[in-house]
Structure 1
Amino acid sequence: MRVVLLILAMAWPGCVAAAPCVGAALDRPLPGAMDARQVSVDVPTARFPGLWQQGRVDGLTYRIFGDGTAVLSDDPGAPRWQVRIECAAATCRTTATGVPDAGADRIADALGRCLMGQDVTAADLRRAAPAFPTGLSNDVPDRGRSLPPAAALATAAGQAPRRAVAQCMPDPALFGDTPAQTVQRMLLAAGQDPGPDDGVLGARSRAALRAALGPGSDADVPHAILALLAMRCGG
């Protein structure tokens, strides 16, 4: 493994001094990525050069390879389209196969900046910047619509948003960076003790959730958020 990492550190295109934003060993998760993991093969091929990082951003699959390239696609196994990003010196080139989804170019540009060693944020790696914070993951339905927070929560839980919107507008401070953190804040506002506001739905948070909503309520976080919202709004 040490030999592989040494080769990677020396092989970035154009001998660029800066490592990519995920680290020279590709072991630092891409900001905002879900299911990010490091993958390696014993025998590199032209398609997979030995080591890469793979994950999802805003519902799309990305791969950042050890040869200084990246690929963005709609599906890791049978993609309808993909965008290949190749960077050398101070420029990046993108090549699309198929018709990429709207906004994919924005994520591809951010991947290029990452390959060049520039800092990128989770907001850069979205097809469109969110109009408001919801605390929900990037893979909820209707993420591109400009819904108020209560409507977005209801939509994510698979229910019509109009009823939640009609009841009240929740305090924006209740919406955290993740669904788990949003649950924790809503539980605290409801008089429960979910533990630290850290976005980790541990045993203490789950116990508080069951105390507020009943047995089994900790199994479905989006529905739990909607139920807590309904409680807060008097529904």
Structure 2
Amino acid sequence: MNRTDGLVQRRRVVNSGNTIGQDGYSDPNGVYNDQSSGHAPDVEGNSLKDFNCNPTVDEDSDKETRLTLMEEVLLLGLKDKEGYTSFWNDCISSGLRGCILAELGLRGRVELEKAGMRKRGLLARKLLVKNDAPTGDVLLDEALKHLKEYEPPEPVQSWIEYLSGETWNPLKLRYQLKNVRERLAKNLVEKGVLTTEKQNFLLFDMTTHPLTDNLAKTRLVKKVFIIIH
């Protein structure tokens, strides 16, 4: 009887850990995100090593390079051998800014205002700062600082334009996040996913970041394929 009680008690502790965290949150699929560690939840649900009873999955999770949403999008947009994004890709800039806002949301720093009776779309709803504690990521903290300082709150669409520098209002240009692609590429170099090279284009030298960790990109492409299908 005592053994049974002990087992029940231990199961209760695990279950409560899956749903409640002092500095984290749980999504509808039960994936816990530790905001203090600065990691977004893993799509495949492998980020929770403590609550995963499969040792094989735990080993794979330890070996897998953890990337932010912005880093994942940049990695998908980069040409593997050349190490740069297509010159014709004019969506990557605003896309990366949108990923920054989404990453802040995943880490519990910002949230959207309530939809209300009018049921406005996501881009039209205002972005509210929920927690201004630093994330530990320089790019995210810079964006969070801008969001915190700006009053009154602005819609998501406006913030994507401000952070991209695509605004006609000169007073809003100070909110632009500069050199985002290069800063993210350096992060990926530090994580061993990319490397840095100098290439000559006509009369100019250009810094490129070719892919070195093919497995990291293969995992990412597979993850996107699973989500889409």
Q: Which TM-score band applies after superposition, normalised by the shorter structure?
A: under 0.3
Higher relative contact order (CA 8 A, sep 6+): 2
Richer in strand (by share): 1
Normalised to the residue count of structure 1, the TM-score between the two structures is 0.24
Normalised to the residue count of structure 2, the TM-score between the two structures is 0.25
